[in-house]
Amino acid sequence: MDKKIKDAIFKKIEEEPFAQKFGIELIELDEGYAKVQMDVAHYMENIFGMIHGGAIFALIDEAFEAASNSHGTIALALNMNVSYIAPPTLGSRLTAEAKELSLTKRTANYDIRVYDEEGKLIALSQTLVYHKSERLPFLKE
């Protein structure tokens, strides 16, 4: 993977207000691949005292964002399907891993899986992205 793209994406995600709000960290990045992590916190609970699906979706979406933009061009989500398998426990550390399954000139498909630190599957997602021809704007910085 191009080091300039990799460094730029790491920097942008580290500075991203949304990722900061949820404590999401980019751990690994390669072309078509990303691994992100987040600690499950009390403020992520829903009305039943379980972790809100939106918090898990946020982690999935961050992995998707990093992996799909890793080619250096702007990638925009077209579709995301999420299946919630098991609820995570409060205080657990979740890892989302996005893997590119196919890549064409304009679209790409990703498989994204979320696990807790014990390896228990929490959620999985199949996603579709549209690649624009424009380079990532922050590569000019």
In order of their start, the domains of the chain are 3-134 (3.10.129.10)
Res 140: pLDDT:
74
Q: Is the pLDDT of residue 114 over 90?
A: yes
């399954």: which residue's tokens? 101
- The residues pairing with 107 across neighbouring beta strands, listed in sequence order, are 130
User: Could you please report the per-residue DSSP string of 118-134?
Assistant: T--EEEEEEEEEEEEEE
Contact present, 101 and 71 (Cβ < 8 Å):
no
pTM: 0.96
Q: Is the pLDDT of residue 25 over 70?
A: yes
Contact present, 70 and 1 (Cβ < 8 Å):
yes
Contact present, 110 and 60 (Cβ < 8 Å):
no
What is the tens place of the pLDDT at every residue in 57-104?
999 999 999 999 999 999 999 999 999 999 999 999 999 999 999 999
